[in-house]
Amino acid sequence: MSGLSKESVSWVEIDEGGEGQRIDNFLFKHLKGVPKSHVYRILRGEVRVNKKRIDQTYRLKMGDLLRIPPIRVAEKPEAEYVPSIEFPILYEDEAILAINKPSGTAVHGGSGVSFGVIEQLRSARPQAKFLELVHRLDRETSGVLLVAKKRSALTGMHEIMREGNSDKRYFALILGQWKNAKQHVKLSLHKFDTPQGEKRVMVREDGQASHTIFTVVKSWPEFTLLEAQLKTGRTHQIRVHTSHLGFPIAGDDKYGDFARNKELAKHGLKRMFLHAHSISFNHPLTGEPLAISAPLAPDLQRFLNKLDAPVA
């Protein structure tokens, strides 16, 4: 039978990359191409941890010795080339990496994208045992993106964000003049797929609760620069909140003013003006306060400079 290879017994010593994972989830990743039903079958009978039987809910510990029986698995297709890219580093220690993500780069592969930031980072750092996204940014959004270098940091950061103990702020340039210096926007958001299979979000009463605090940074006759503080982290939250209120983000190709976007492109703004400029939280492992910020991308800064320039 072509495309299959006979494996022998393998032994895996658990390091930081596997520590804390449920054994079934670890095996799904380790045995790519093997049906889940087969993984559960060998878990019930032939897998051993430190020579003992365990069940599927067992959480792996550092140094555990895992015995995996011989398995026939589909031979892996040749991996697609992923360029090694180190993005501008804003902060790094042994547990957390913060980068300044450029606009136009997806954070991970999928949905028609072969690879994203995380795959390129792993390619650039083959020695790294663990690299996982802490959160996501839309493809067109630039700015602070957090990556965990340890599982303990990942679970810690997820808890911090779930409990609302992080402060994430964005700069958004909107069309029109925002009325209030500071405004809380609370609207329920509903996710759906378009007939073309694209993810979209709309305001709907039965959606998920969402909350953004908008503060005016600067205004011009036709634009307002807002700082958006996220109190919840829903998909496309800032974009849908401003658009629903009649102030779409400049350059937004999903919820924006498409005719205005074409005009803006002629004047140098060729993408959505949304930038994750800062995040602050207590470090998940040390508890030390941490504040990370990303300078505004040069194309966005140039556009603001044009707005400030005196009309000839």
Indicate the domain borders of the chain: 4-74, 89-308
Residue with tokens 């305001």: 203
Q: Cα-Cα-Cα-Cα dihedral of 88, 93, 97, 98, to 10°?
A: -60
Cα 140 from Cα 300, distance rounded (Å): 12
Cα 85 from Cα 91, distance rounded (Å): 17
Supply the pLDDT for residue 244: 96
pLDDT tens string, the chain, 312 residues long: the values are 333 344 678 888 888 778 888 888 888 888 877 888 888 888 887 889 898 888 888 999 888 998 888 876 555 544 567 777 779 999 999 999 999 999 998 888 765 667 889 999 998 898 988 999 999 999 999 999 999 999 999 999 999 999 999 999 999 999 999 999 999 999 999 989 888 778 899 999 999 999 999 999 999 999 999 999 999 989 899 999 999 999 999 999 999 999 999 999 999 999 999 999 999 999 999 999 999 999 999 999 999 999 998 765
Contact of 290 with 142, CB cutoff 8 Å = no
Is position 138 annotated as part of the catalytic site?
yes
Residue with tokens 């400029």: 277
Cα 133 from Cα 292, distance rounded (Å): 16
Q: Strand 89-92 relative to strand 132-133: parallel, antiparallel, unpaired?
A: unpaired
Evaluate if pTM is beyond 0.85: no
May I ask the CATH class of domain 89-308? alpha beta
What's the distance, CA 127 to chain centroid? 22
What is the CATH topology of the domain spanning 4-74? 3.10.290
Supply the pLDDT for residue 249: 97
Cα 291 from Cα 170, distance rounded (Å): 14
Supply the pLDDT for residue 312: 57
Supply the pLDDT for residue 79: 53
Supply the pLDDT for residue 5: 42
Catalytic residue among 24, 55, 138, 308: 138
Joined together, the tokens standing for residue 275 give 């930038």
